[in-house]
Amino acid sequence: MELPGRLYCVLLGLIALVSRAMPTPVPPLSTVKPTVSPQQGLKYLQKFGYLSTGTSQAGGLQAQGNLNKAIRQFQRFAHINITGELDEATLEMMTKERCGVPDIVGTANSARKRRYAIQGSRWRKHDLTYRISAYTQDLPAFEVESAVEKAFQVWAKHTPLTFTRIYWGRPDLDVKFSVGEHGDGNPFDGAGGELAHAFFPQYGGDAHFDDGETWTVRTPGGTDLFIVAAHEFGHSLGLGHSDVRGSLMAPFYQGYTPAFTLPPDDVEGIQNLYGVADIDRPSPHPRPRPPSNDVDVPDYDARGTVDPTTCSGHLDAITRTKNGSTYAFAGEFFWRLNDIGPDPGYPMRIHDIWGVVGPIDAALFWPSTGKTYLIKGERYWRFTNAVLDEGYPASMERFRGVPTNVDAAFEWGRNGKTYFIKGNQYWRYSKGWGVDDGYPQPLSVWTGLPDRIDAAFQWKNGKTYFFQGGRYWRFDDDNLRVAESDPQYPRSTAEWWLGCPIQHEPDWVGSQDGQAPGTDSTDQPADGAEDQRVNGLTGGSGASRASWRAGLTSLCVLLSLWLSRTIQNTH
């Protein structure tokens, strides 16, 4: 039931007066420590990269050995007693506030060459822009802006990097506060636990902060925004987590730190990526670093060890599965991808694992059902993770109105609709219904894409990617065109997705507006296509009503505080 505006204010005023008259209860002290169960501990190890998905269900001595090794790696990162067991100290450590980015990215059995961790991608320019697109209500806007700027300067001080805030348009780095599911496939968990996460440069560099926390500045209470932001921006610039005690890039929250200075481990890591600032240049004989004996921690900089058959960059299909894995398909082979390239042991033959003879035409993942589809010719196979569902393969006729021999398929995050591409046309499909009226449409509606597509999918960050002939494009769902970024799109699939070494600077890096060479930048959607592309989105009335209520609430709170203080002054 909607309350009239006046009654709404009166009720808030009465609540304020009553709360002033009643004593504030003192919360009881508790000695109970938060813990996690062993099963939750296994999920924790999987989530943060120590253990591959499915290990906990596997049997045998090898699986147990992998589990013990994963636990030891976590214990080393956490600087607790290394037992290889999920003991009380280990489970308790898993309750600590931390960053949501995985600790282990890539090969889990190679020796790391440095204590600082380089994820594998970096920005190719030094002048970066950022925008704060959503604020927390815990702090005044100017405090948020000041803390964010100060956090960027932590990294700028030791490198040639500059960070400029913009107020509209697409920045290099988007900073926002959100709660729960917020569109990138990594929902926040509320107070405690994961405080924030960020994407590495190859995935856009955006940084998201859990607004379920109580954000503070310059005080030991709450969660210090500056120190968390400085850590997340390290990820945005290409640094992974460090296992050095006291490092800013260590995964666990360190709390408010007066007079913070960037530790040497982090300085060396960021300068390895971007070089040093003029005032930071060392003497000709820098101090040598002692070798590391941590042979179980992965090498984040081992991009030159990729199987050469991987590096053609051409993909027939790419998709996700219910357990969060990403799979890329080319010819008779497929790869499982992590954030910097293929997992160890890949490529494998498609038929050996999926039961389908390669090559395939397309792949599709529906997040709402957790089902993954491989499509070839007139048939498709449906999977839960990589396990074939009973009753498949089935005829493509079940996708009413969709042609056979499609080139690509994906669900678009903007409207939840499914799109099939064949040649220079695309079909929009509604689940349980069929192809929508008015389709097919020309592919040129998707401004900036080439006239043919080999593969497409929505990744875990909620963004849509298109692949063609060894190159890929990221689509800007807000502006309905290929995203603007530096380096521009298209980019090399082999380098950015398959972890292949950089052989040379591609010719297409300098193309304008992120388009493929020869693509007409004046292409516009067909008549009525704009309405079709946003069909299914929520209208503006709900947002307007929420904004009105938020403003009214703020006004009423101020009125309540004034009434309360007036009554207090009369006593």
Query: What CATH number is attached to the domain comprising 168?
Result: 3.40.390.10
Question: Which residues is 467 bridged to in the sheet?
Answer: 455, 472
Whether 144 and 226 map to the same domain: the answer is: yes
Mean pLDDT computed over every residue of the chain = 77
Whether 144 and 74 map to the same domain: the answer is: no
Domain that holds residue 56: 38-93
Q: Return the closest-CA partner of residue 172 out of 494, 516, 483.
A: 483
Question: Which residues is 483 bridged to in the sheet?
Answer: none
Q: Is the peptide bond before 490 cis (omega within 30 degrees of 0)?
A: yes
Q: Return the closest-CA partner of residue 297 out of 157, 85, 446, 106.
A: 106
Whether 385 and 495 map to the same domain: the answer is: yes
CA distance between the termini of the chain: 38
The answer for 152, left when phi > 0, alpha when psi is -120 to 50, beta otherwise, is: alpha
Residue 558 placed within a domain: no
Token pair belonging to 67: 């589990």
Q: Report how many domains make up the chain.
A: 3
Give how far Cα 348 sits from Cα of 234, 244, 357, Å. 34, 36, 12
Residue 18 placed within a domain: no
Determine if residue 213 is labeled as part of a ligand binding site.
yes
Beta strands in 434-518 (DSSP E): 434-435, 441-442, 455-458, 464-468, 471-476, 481-482, 491-492
Locus of tokens 């008549």: 527
pLDDT in tens, 521-549: 333 333 333 333 333 322 333 333 344 44
Residue 327 has pLDDT above 90, yes or no: yes
Separation CA 540–CA 544 (nearest Å) = 6
Token pair belonging to 176: 């926002």
Whether 132 and 261 map to the same domain: the answer is: yes
**Model confidence band, residue 514 (pLDDT cutoffs 50, 70, 90):** very low
Residue 329 has pLDDT above 90, yes or no: yes
Give yes or no for a contact between 435 and 427, defined as CB atoms under 8 angstroms apart. yes
Whether 345 and 445 map to the same domain: the answer is: yes
Tell me what percent of the residues of the chain surpass a pLDDT of 70: 71
Residue 30 has pLDDT above 50, yes or no: no
Rg (CA), the chain: 26
**Model confidence band, residue 507 (pLDDT cutoffs 50, 70, 90):** very low
The catalytic residues are 232
Instruction: Output the domain CATH number for residue 323.
Output: 2.110.10.10
pLDDT at site 533 = 38
Determine if residue 567 is labeled as part of a ligand binding site.
no
Token pair belonging to 418: 């499914």
**Model confidence band, residue 64 (pLDDT cutoffs 50, 70, 90):** confident
Separation CA 492–CA 473 (nearest Å) = 9
Separation CA 59–CA 441 (nearest Å) = 50
Determine if residue 351 is labeled as part of a ligand binding site.
no
Residue 250 has pLDDT above 90, yes or no: yes
Determine if residue 390 is labeled as part of a ligand binding site.
no
Locus of tokens 């070089």: 275
pLDDT at site 527 = 35
Residue 547 placed within a domain: no
Separation CA 440–CA 205 (nearest Å) = 35
Whether 369 and 502 map to the same domain: the answer is: yes
Residue 2 placed within a domain: no
Determine if residue 280 is labeled as part of a ligand binding site.
no
Question: Which residues is 492 bridged to in the sheet?
Answer: 471
